[in-house]
Structure 1
Amino acid sequence: MTIAAAADLARRGLAVFPLPPGGRRPTGRWQSLCLTDPERVQELWCAGDNIGVGCRASKVVGLDLDIDGDGDGETVLTELATSLGQDWPKTLTVRTPSGGLHLYFRVPSGCTIGSSSGGRTALGSGIDVRGPGRRSGGYLVGPGSTVNGKRYVIERDVPLVGLPEWIAERAALV
């Protein structure tokens, strides 16, 4: 199942790498393992491996909207959008096992938005940023992965859109 899911993400232009089965943390130099060719993914992927999505190699920024002690990221982003007169971003969206969301946004080459978490973003509490960074960049656990018996699933299956300016302005402050 994860082989097909990883190949699908590569077809969408995302750079994927294997995570240990059931895990969220990469081992070794995962940045050098990123694949964007669906055929190579199908050749090299091991059944059961989870999926990592490299932000730098994919040219994406991911917003990780948590539901935990840091706050409800989905509510915080909704309130921020409303206060700025903006719409909720319509981009590829993944539901996480905890009930949170991952929103994927395209960024241009050379984007240096870094990764931050734990309520330290200018977007608000409960919103973590996973970005290309200046060197190796961050990553997201991709849809099709399973952690603690629960899956990451695509909730909004639409093409990735560019990072909205109102989000970029705040995400760049990390």
Structure 2
Amino acid sequence: MVSTTVAAVDLAMRGLAVFALPPGGRRPEAAGWSARCWVDPDQVRRRWREGDNIGVGCRASSIVGLDLDVEGAGRDVLAALAASVGEPWPDTLTVTSPSGGAHLYFRVPPACSTASVSGGRTALGPGIDVRGPGRGSGGYLIGPGSVVGRVRYAIERDLPVAPMPAWITERLAVGSGRRP
């Protein structure tokens, strides 16, 4: 089993900005987490407390994360959406959550203002939550290596973080009225 320090350093080496979440937790202990994101692997290695869960800041990382829920059948909804526009399943870093859902990571331009939206209100369909850079501190994803309820978030598809496909970008832009 990989330590959380090693997992956090690995994410930083992929160009993702990480911050500490409490052991076993999903939420930051205090406000201001976005100012505590580290992308330098050496800094992460020196400052990480073993056992902390890992947050991945969307704004600091210039990413949008799609959180595919199990209950909303997010994988099926995204697959159907891809098929409807004649596109394949996106090849990108994918992390399995303890519930059996998945997080897909996508690179976006630094000026991206895609907001975080959940609860079946996304333009991608039910069962797909969006974690985006937003206009303020942005959203975050729980990174691989984190443990919640004794179950680990794990890398399912160990691929580079791909640029967000145009068919997803366009759908999010239309659904939010914001610049992708």
Q: Say whether the fold is shared (TM-score over 0.5).
A: yes
Structure 1, gaps ≥5 residues long: none
Quote the residue 1:74 is aligned against.
75
Counterpart CA distance in 1 for 2:117 and 2:7 is 27
- 1:160 aligned partner: 161
Find the counterpart in structure 1 of residue 57 from structure 2: 54
The TM-score, its normalising length taken from structure 2, stands at: 0.94
Residue 52 of structure 1 aligns with an amino acid whose one-letter code is: G
Calculate percent identity across the aligned residue pairs. Answer: 64
Residue-by-residue CA offset, 1:30-89 (whole Å, 9 max, x unaligned): 001100011111111101000000000000000000012xx1000000001011101000
Write out the 4+ residue segments of structure 1 that deviate beyond 6 Å after TM superposition. Answer: none
Residue in structure 2 matched with residue 137 of structure 1 by the alignment: 138
Provide the secondary structure at the position in 1 that maps to 2:51: coil
Match of 2:38 among 35, 38, 45: 35
Match of 1:24 in 2: 26
Give the drift of 1:170: 1.7
Report the TM-score, using the length of structure 1 for normalisation. 0.97
Match of 1:102, SS state, is: strand
2:171 alignment partner, SS class: helix
Counterpart CA distance in 2 for 1:48 and 1:165 is 37
Structure 2 CA distance for aligned equivalents of residues 84 and 158 of structure 1: 23
Match of 1:95 in 2: 96
Instruction: Structure 2: state its 5+ residue gaps.
Output: none
Helix, strand or coil for the counterpart of 2:113?
coil
CA RMSD of aligned residues (A): 0.6
- Equivalenced residue count is 172
